[in-house]
Structure 1
Amino acid sequence: MTETEPPELPRGIALAWGVAANPQRGPKREMSVEKIVDAAVELADAEGIGAVSMAAVAAKLGFTPMSLYRYVTAKDDLLLLMQEQATGLPPASHLEVDGWRARLLALYEAQIMLYLRHPWMLSLPITGSPITPNSSAWLDAGLAALEETPLTAEERLAVALAMTGHARWCGIVLAGYTEQARGSGLTPDEVSAREAELFDRVITAEEFPALHRAIEDDVFLSAADPFRFGVERTLDGVAAYIAALERGEPRSVATDWVDLEPVELAGDRRLKEAQRAVRDAEKALRVAHKIERQALREARERLAKAKKPA
C-alpha cells in the first residue's frame, strides 16, 4: 500500500507560513516579502483595495513591477498576505474574561475593530477555510472558548463561524457608513439621518406597511445596536442548547446544506431566460399594484370631496 503524497502548499500560503523558498536573485537587499506586504497594506488603508496593483506597490517602494514578482509571484498571493498581516493575532485580552460567552463576545468586538481599521478586507472574496497562521489563530481562539462546553467539535465550529459571520456583517455595514461619511463630509450620525429622510420619501404605508411603521418609530435613528442584539440572541440560543444537553436532552443535528440545483450551476440558457421572464413579470406586477393603490387613493379623495357640503 503506497502512501499518498500531501498536496504542495500554494506559494501564497507557503509565504504566509514562512516555508516558501526565497528568491535566488533580488534587485537589492532592501526588498523583501514583508516590505512588499507592508507597502500594499498602507496603500489599501489609504486608498482602498482598488488602488493596489503590483505596479502601484512597486512604485511606492521605488522598484519595478518585475522586481516584485521575484518575491510575490501573483497578485492573488499578495492579497492573501495582505489579509494575513491585517488580520494579525486575536488579542490576548479575550483570555482575561471568564466564560465561553464573554470570550466569544470579546473576539466578536475585536474582529469588528479589525474591519474598521482595514475595511478593504471586506472586499476580498472568501475562497475557503482559513489556512494562514493568523486566520487559523482566530478560529482556534473561538473553538478554544467553547472547549469546556458539552458541544461537539462540529457544534463548536458552527458557533465560532456564526460569531465570525455576525462580526463580518456588522463590519460591512459600519465600514460602509464610515466610508460614506468620509466621502460626503458628513458624520456617521448625519449619514443615518439623511438615510432616514430618503426612506421617508419613498416608503409608503400602502406598499411597505411594516417598514413604514418602523420608520415612523425612528428605527433608523435609534442608538440601539441591532447587530449586538442579534449576537446576544444567538448566544442565548447556544446557552439554552448547552443547558438542554446538560439536562440530558438529545442533540439537534442539521445536515442539509442550502445549495443550488446542478442545472442552475450549469448555466442553462433557456432556464436563465425563463428566470429573467419571471423577474420581469414580478416587476410588472409590483408596478401594477402601485398604480392600483394610487388610483384607489385618488378615488377615495374624490369621494371625500363629493360628500363635502357645498
Structure 2
Amino acid sequence: MTDAMDIELPRGVALAWGVAANPQRGPKREMSVELIVDAAVEIADADGLGAVSMAAVAARLGYTPMSLYRYVSAKEDLVLLMQEEATGLPSDATRTAEGWRDRLQALYREQVQRYLEHPWVLDVPINGSPTTPNSAAWMDAGLHALADTPLTHAERLSVMLLVTGHARWTGMVLAGYARVERDRKVDDVEIARSEDALFRQLITADAYPDLRAAIEAGVFLDDADPFAFNLGLSLDGVAGYISAVEDGQRTERAGWTVRADEDISDDKRFREAQKAVREAEKTLRDAHRAVRQAAREARERRARQRPEG
C-alpha cells in the first residue's frame, strides 16, 4: 500500500465534488454552476455535444460569456459537469436486487437508458478513470453487486468494466438507430425491413454463403435482443469462473489455463492433465464447428423444401 499523494484537483473535478472556491464577483444570485450545466445539457440534448459552447450557453441564460467564466473557467470543465449531470445516480435496484447477476443486469439496463436519454454522452472522450461523485457511485454499485462473491477486488472491477462496456456498446448502437428513426420519421420495424431488403439485394450465397444463410433465416427481422443475449453469455462466463473459484480452482486472468510453477512443471500427471485440457478444448471447438455446419445444411434443406411463390 502506498501513501496517498496530496494533489491539486482539476477545476472541473473540484466543482463536481463541491470543493471549488466560489467566484468572488459576478451575478451570484442569478447565476450558478448548476444553472450553467442545466442549460448546457439542454443544448446537448437538443442539438448534440458539438452545439455546446460558452457563448451558446450564455445566450441561453441571457448573460455574456465572460459571466460564465467566473463560474466555469473552461469548456472541458463544463463538459465534465454535463456528463456528471447526465450520468445521474444508479437506482436502489442495483443494490437491492437478489443476487450479483440481477444487480449487474439492473446496472446495465440503467446505463443504457442514460445513453438513450443523453446520447451526446457517448461523444465525450474517455481520458481516464472517472473521478466525479456520480461516476464513482456507479463504480461502487458495480463492485457492491459482487461483494458477496469470492472474486478479488481486481476481478470484481474487471467484471464491472465488462458490464459497463456492454452498456456503452449497446447505447452507441441503439442511440444511432434512434437518431435514424427521428431523422427519417420511421419506426424500428420499418428500419429492420429496409435493412433486410437491402441485404437480400446485395448479399449473394456465392460471395457470402454464411451471411446469406443468416439473412434467409431472418436474422435481421428477429425480435430477439442480441445485446441482452451477449450480456447473458458474458455473465454465464462470470458465473462459471465464480464456481471454479469456489471449488478452489482459481485460474489466471489471462485465460483458463493454470500456469505451472517450477515445482510442478515437470510433474508427469500435471503435464498429462494440461494435455487433456488442450484436447478437450479442441474437441469442443470441433463440436461447435459441427453444429454450425449442421445448422447451415438444415437451413439449406429448409430453403429447398420451401414452396415457390
TM-score (norm 1): 0.79
Q: Which residue number in structure 2 is paired with residue 260 of structure 1?
A: none
Cα shift at 1:210: 1.5
Following the alignment from structure 1 to structure 2, what is the Cα–Cα distance between the partners of residues 11 and 97? Answer: 37
In structure 1, give the amino acid aligned to 2:165.
G
State the shift of 1:65 in Å: 1.0
CA distance in 1, matches of 2:251, 2:4: 36
Q: Which consecutive residues of structure 2, in runs of 5 or more, have no partner in the other structure? A: 256-309
Partners of 1:90 and 1:241 lie apart in 2 by 26
User: Any residues of structure 2 matched to 1:262-281 within 5 Å, and which?
Assistant: none
**Aligned pair 1:248/2:244, yes or no?**
no
2:86 aligned with 1:86: yes
Report the residue type matching 2:123 in the other structure.
S
Deviation at 1:5, TM superposition (A): 5.3
Q: What residue in structure 1 maps to residue 149 of structure 2? A: 149
Aligned-residue offset at 1:200: 2.0
Q: CA deviation at 1:247?
A: 1.0
**Cα displacement string for residues 78-97 of structure 1 (whole angstroms, at most 9, x for unaligned residues):** 11000000101111122231
- CA gap 1:153/1:28 in 2 versus in 1, 3 angstroms: closer
SS of residue in 1 equivalent to 2:164: helix
Deviates more, 1:147-156 or 1:90-99: 90-99
Mapped partners of 1:22, 1:68: distance in 2: 12
1:217-273 Cα deviation digits (max 9, x unpaired): 111111000000010010101101111111111322329xxxxxxxxxxxxxxxxxx
Cα shift readout 1:64-122 (whole Å, capped 9, x = no counterpart): 11111111111111110000001011111222311001100011111111111111111
Deviation at 1:213, TM superposition (A): 1.3
For 1:228, the aligned partner's letter is A
How many angstroms does 1:28 deviate by?
5.0
Gaps of 5+ in 1: 256-310
1:65 equivalent in alignment to 2:68: no
Residues 94 and 103, structure 2, Cα contact 8 Å, conserved in 1: yes
Question: Would you identify which runs of 4 or more consecutive aligned residues in structure 1 move more than 6 Å?
Answer: none
Q: Conserved in 1, the CA contact under 8 Å of 2:11 and 2:20?
A: yes
- Give 1:273's aligned residue: none
Q: What percent of counterpart residues are identical?
A: 62
- Preserved CA contact (<8 Å) 2:53 2:75: yes
Counterpart of 1:103? 103
SS in 2 for 1:50: helix
Distance 2:192 2:76 in 1: 35
Q: Contact between 2:44 and 2:50, CA under 8 Å: does it hold in 1?
A: yes
The corresponding residue for 2:201 is 201
Q: Distance in 2 between matches of 1:189 and 1:120?
A: 25
* 3-state secondary structure, aligned to 1:72: coil
Q: Give the whole-Å Cα distance in 2 for the aligned partners of 1:63 and 1:194.
A: 47
TM-score by length of 2: 0.79
Q: Distance in 2 between matches of 1:105 and 1:201?
A: 38
Distance 1:5 1:109, change over 3 A: closer
Letter matched to residue 151 of structure 1? L
- Give the whole-Å Cα distance in 2 for the aligned partners of 1:19 and 1:4: 18
The answer to whether 1:238 aligns with 2:230 is no
TM-superposition CA deviations, 1:179-202 (whole Å, max 9, x none):
100000101221222122222222
Amino acid at match of 2:174: L
Written as runs of structure 1 = structure 2, the 5 A alignment for 1:1-310 is 6-254=6-254
Distance in 1 (CA, whole Å) between partners of 2:88 and 2:157 is 21
What code does the residue aligned with 1:158 have?
A: S
Alignment length, in residue pairs?
A: 253
Mapped to 2, the partners of 1:236 and 1:42 lie a distance apart of 39
